[in-house]
Amino acid sequence: MTPLADVRVLDASRVLAGPFCGQLLGDLGAEVIKVERPGSGDETRGWGPPFDGAYSAYYLSCNRNKQAITLDLSQPGGVQLFQALVRKSDVLLENFRAQSADKLGLSPEKLLAQNPRLIVCSISGFGRTGPWSDLPGYDFAIQALSGLMAITGPSEGPPSKVGVAVTDVLTGLYAATAVLACLHARAQSGHGYTIDLALLDCAIAAQVNVVQAFLTSGAMPARQGNAHLQIVPYQAFATADEWLILAVGNDGQWQHFCQAADRLDLAHDARFTTNAQRVNERTTLIPMLEALLHTRTYADWHARLEKAGVPHAPVLDYSKLFALAQVSERGMKVTVRDPAGKEVDLAGSPFHIHGATLPTATMPPALGEHTAMVLRDVLGLDDLAIQRLRDEKAI
């Protein structure tokens, strides 16, 4: 039995944060029903290239293990069907604009009145309170507003965003955590919950030690590029042929590094004995290490550092990443089949839970692929009623 086998999730969210949360819950065995607008569907269906047939890579990345239906919430019949599905669901994921939800009668409070055991997870840019509560939120803007871009990128030059829509992904993770906590709480309390998650809040919380450095000192941390604000040496170095990530996390590892590098003089240098000293002496030490690391190839350094137990890594592109036996063994690339039987490669789920069965990955659904099935199986509608809804353009 899968961990969430008895949980039905109505995923009425769009783009990334909410759909990513829904995918995580589906990976854990929940029945996830994706609700989209007829005709167009989730915007990410068209966000490409690249495409795999009719499916954009963006859409494929966050919609596996779901069923898909179409409902037109501008039609009374569509709203009624949505409300009927709410009454049959355990969790609702949504990123409606607050004013739009109120107008349609789909605010969290009204939905809870219809299903008092429902867990409503509302995801927005800025949350349901505060002066920005009704503004739209986009990852790039949130990265800028949250301070994340101010600490990302080289010390000289413009601020930089992270290479993936990280505030959406982080919010999806926080959303899944909150949903699971509320499911657990509901088993004790018997009542539902509303969750109000903001991309901005999640982006701030996820900056952990760096934002805390500001709160502790009152000083804005400088951008470190590929270095670490509070650990030295912990950054990228150019070897004679490739980049090497050196991650010396404690003073014992520093001693091991110096031995592996045949630089006992550095090991005995009182300026560099502790991490705090190395951070304070960063501008002296790092140029010395840059010159040192450049004297040997990556393969030479890898052999030395591996033997010494010093954490390090190469910088891989995706082709090298997915060629690794480790990545293959962990199932981080899975192959599914689209409705026509064509093989499609997807990034795999990271969940490995011993003692529980997890679902086999399924193809992200085509637009409205399961509309009739869901209306029959969940709401008990017959073919005549479903055809009538099609004629009324409710689905």
What residues are labeled active site?
Answer: 168
DSSP string for 164-220 = S-HHHHHHHHHHHHHHHHHHHHHHHH-S-EEEEEEHHHHHHHTTHHHHHHHHHHSSP
What does the angle CA 308 – CA 310 – CA 313 come to, to the nearest 5 degrees?
125
DSSP string for 148-162 = TGGGSS-SSS-----
The strand order across the sheet containing 243-247 reads: 234-238, 243-247, 312-314
Two structure tokens written together for 55: 């499916």
- Residues 6 or more apart whose Cβ sits within 8 Å of residue 190: 117
DSSP string for 259-287 = HHTT-HHHHH-GGGSSHHHHHHTHHHHHH
E runs forming strands in the chain: 8-12, 31-36, 51-52, 55-56, 67-70, 91-94, 119-124, 193-198, 234-238, 243-247, 312-314, 333-337, 343-347
Sort strands 91-94 and 55-56 into parallel, antiparallel or unpaired: unpaired
Whether omega before 49 lies within 30 degrees of 0, making that bond cis, reads yes
